[in-house]
Structure 1
Amino acid sequence: MNFEYCSEIQAATLPHTLEGYDIIGQAQTGTGKTAAFLIAMISDFLDYPIEDDRGDRFARGLIIAPTRELALQIAEDAEKLTSNSDLNVISLVGGLSYEKQKQQLDTLRVDIVVATPGRLLDFARSKKVMLNKVESLVLDEADRMLSMGFIPDVKSIIRMTPHKEKRQTMLFSATFPKDIQALATQWTYVPKEVSVVPLETTNKNIDQVIYTVEADQKWDVLHQLLLEKPGERTIIFANRRDETRDLYERLKEVNINCAMLSGEVAQDKRVKTLNGFKSGKIQVLVATDVAGRGIHVDNIELVVNYSLPEDPEDYVHRIGRTGRGGELGRSVSFASEDDAFLVPEIEKVVGESIRCEYIELAAK
């Protein structure tokens, strides 16, 4: 996979996790934490193969993620990392065929399960997958699980796993509100705590600018922006599904090579869309915050906030799609009379003022 050096989170966690310690890790997306917990889990399973016949339905490793996209991305990375071993990776996520996932559980030995909470509970309650012999548990993006209302489901799942002293638990979160701090303490046993959050909340490789525009000019400014550098791989974020669809249809009308990613898009279509975007077949992705976290796509040059996010933390996650892996990136946000009041809160989270520019539309 062309790994040469540890990222900061990998270097900070692996010495502990390889020795079997629990971890509470604070790290943003794009820092390499997926490989950090996967390498620890896979190394342990290869070093200590199962001697007894535990049965095929008993998972050894369990990774819980808040969104389908993130779970599928983790599963893809896990498959690459286990490709030369006999370990099986199974993903259990909502929105994709229940029957296909059930068939996998029926036909494959379960080693590593990557799952979203709701679908995992369905399978665990019906005994299609057994969690009472889990050796390694990962909770990724715990703060996102809290904000999306998944904590009751996660608690139910954790009660099905061995007691915390009899499993290794790795919990990662970008932020640690009090609720997450309490859960982290409750779910881990004598954990090592690691934080690799940079002093700056946002990546210094990202050139950030806010365009002050009239609400009815946003479309024209966006079109002009996309025409300036037609080959740029771009994500455009909007807050609502209807706004996303409207933008997608207007971009299609002016022959921009684009696709849409939102909650109304069927899960199998979302997977195809993401693969097309990763491969370069699709140049522009119009998305709601469903794509804001955990999507690893290299070489995204531009992120556009067509509408400013209502939660300032989402601004950080949105623009974090660009400027990854040391590359330079650009972020352009539109602020109109409808949402300019959100800018001070965003700047507070970012920890600095963001450059504002007034944009003149080119004469048509």
Structure 2
Amino acid sequence: MFSKWTEKNDNPSAAQPARDDTTSEHTPRNPAAAASWSPDQFKVAPAEGKVRFHDLDLPDVVMQAIADLGFEYCTPIQAKTLVHTLEGKDLTGKAQTGTGKTAAFLISIITDLIDYPLEGRRKKGKPRALVVAPTRELVMQIANDAAGLVKYAQLKVLTVVGGMDYERQRRQLREQEVDILVATPGRLLDFNEKGDVDLSGVEVLVLDEADRMLSMGFIPDVRRIIRSTPHKKDRQTLLFSATFSYDILNLARMWTLDAEQVEIEPERVTADTVEQQVYLVSEEDKFNLLYNVVNQKHLERVMVFANRRDQTRRLCERLKRAGVAADMLSGEVTQKQRVKTLEAFRSGKIKVLVATDVAGRGIHVEGVSHVINYNLPEDPEDYVHRIGRTGRAGAEGVSFSFACETDAFMLPEIEALIGRKLECIHPEAALLKRPA
């Protein structure tokens, strides 16, 4: 079985929460030790049907970071993409979250920057590699993964996102050299148009979750950003998407040059380790059901998904009033507060995290035992992303979905996507009691 890159990063000890200063500089912790290290010290036996990182001729400083993270064999998306991207080819990749695609493009970027260093002084705020992702959480997760991989390389990673200190980010761009810039489209475009960031030196451009950026209306911003980078014949472009719709493929043709196309179909749309159950309940009884499920089943680390920001806010407030340790993630929460909320959730201070789909993307927290769909999502693929927050790394998880008269019609589409019928039951009376 292939090792999963994201499994290691789910461990808080392996990837520390992103700092709220939006920038970090990564140099060897022990340069002497890094200089004396050899891939021979990282023993991985050849295995039939598997690709070792040893087989890819990666720089020693990258291999040492991979060894520290404990990864031995490439995931399918890593094996199929790295053989092309390490040669400098453009690529469009179809892969779901949790397949290791983040590490695939980061390893390629870091290798390129190490193999072709720039001489002399560099302009501040002029990145060599640019990664554009649709949400703040995903940007911070990518930056965390990058931090692990540049541990022994003298490369600087900077993040630019909305909802955080604008002037501080602006000052960092003006005062610091940056190798890898990870950004959301809106804030990046703002800084670019004001001259605070110079994208003319981008050697590698990565567009992650392109389908999500399309659905969120970011493509016009992305177009303007790309026009500020070198022509596609003068840069390497990697585009990743969970789906290959006509629109996505058309964008890929516009932005890439003779791109290799890689598709990784999930072995199963949803993991066998997640038990999925649907409660048939009226809208007015949903909160009672949520409260009693959390308390009577003694749930300790739960993610609850709602469809809109206002629903998330009201739900979180009601849980707090009922004495439940809860907090929320949505587009109206500042990034600094999000970082604090996620850390409180990881540490167990918060046992219920209420989130929207946009906020939930890119969140990887070890030990989420239950996911509760307070509302069934309007897009069936969001159902897959939601329940994927539990049952990770081979652990068992449980998903409860509340289906009422206004959203039960979504069940057939969800069942068609996941290829199975969902068990639908009526909650017992004890689960519908009003909280005291």
TM-score range normalised by the length of the shorter chain:
over 0.9
1:19-168 → structure 2 map (5 Å cutoff): 19-168=87-236
Whether 1:14 aligns to 2:82 is yes
Match of 2:385 among 294, 317, 336: 317
The residue type paired with residue 170 of structure 1 is: L
How far 1:13 moved relative to its partner? 1.4
Deviations 1:63-107 (A, max 9, x none): 000111111111122122213222111111111111111121122
Give secondary structure in 2 for the equivalent of 1:58.
Answer: coil
Paired residue for 1:197? 265
Q: TM-score, length-normalised on structure 2?
A: 0.80
Rounded to whole Å, the distance in 1 between the matches of 2:393 and 2:259 is: 28
Rounded to whole Å, the distance in 2 between the matches of 1:327 and 1:20 is: 37
Between 1:220-229 and 1:331-340, the stretch displaced more is 220-229
RMSD over aligned Cα atoms: 1.7
Tell me: CA distance 1:250–1:57, structure 2 relative to 1, closer, same or farther (3 Å). Answer: closer
The residue type paired with residue 57 of structure 1 is: G
The answer to whether the 8 Å contact 1:64/1:138 transfers is yes
Rounded to whole Å, the distance in 2 between the matches of 1:53 and 1:335 is: 60
The answer to whether the 8 Å contact 2:135/2:359 transfers is no
Whether 1:342 aligns to 2:417 is no
The answer to whether the 8 Å contact 1:301/1:323 transfers is yes
Paired residue for 2:295? 227
The answer to whether the 8 Å contact 2:174/2:197 transfers is no
1:206-285 → structure 2 map (5 Å cutoff): 206-285=274-353
Whether 1:181 aligns to 2:249 is yes
How far 1:199 moved relative to its partner? 4.5
Rounded to whole Å, the distance in 2 between the matches of 1:145 and 1:265 is: 20
Aligned length: 364
Percent identity over the alignment is 58
The residue type paired with residue 193 of structure 2 is: R
Between 1:114-123 and 1:318-327, the stretch displaced more is 318-327
The residue type paired with residue 403 of structure 2 is: A
Paired residue for 2:239? 171
Rounded to whole Å, the distance in 1 between the matches of 2:397 and 2:95 is: 20
Deviations 1:139-183 (A, max 9, x none): 000000000111011011111111112211111101111100101
The list of structure 1 runs, each at least 4 consecutive aligned residues, that deviate by more than 3 angstroms after superposition, is none
Q: TM-score, length-normalised on structure 1?
A: 0.95
How far 1:244 moved relative to its partner? 1.5
Rounded to whole Å, the distance in 1 between the matches of 2:419 and 2:114 is: 43
Rounded to whole Å, the distance in 2 between the matches of 1:297 and 1:15 is: 30
The residue type paired with residue 91 of structure 1 is: T
Give secondary structure in 1 for the equivalent of 2:111.
Answer: helix
Q: Which runs of 5+ in 2 are unaligned?
A: 1-68
The answer to whether the 8 Å contact 1:93/1:115 transfers is yes
Rounded to whole Å, the distance in 2 between the matches of 1:325 and 1:47 is: 33
Tell me: CA distance 1:220–1:109, structure 2 relative to 1, closer, same or farther (3 Å). Answer: same
The residue type paired with residue 156 of structure 2 is: N
The answer to whether the 8 Å contact 2:206/2:237 transfers is yes
The answer to whether the 8 Å contact 2:331/2:359 transfers is no
Q: Which runs of 5+ in 1 are unaligned?
A: none
Deviations 1:170-229 (A, max 9, x none): 111011111001011211122221122215322222211111112222122212211244
The answer to whether the 8 Å contact 1:292/1:314 transfers is no
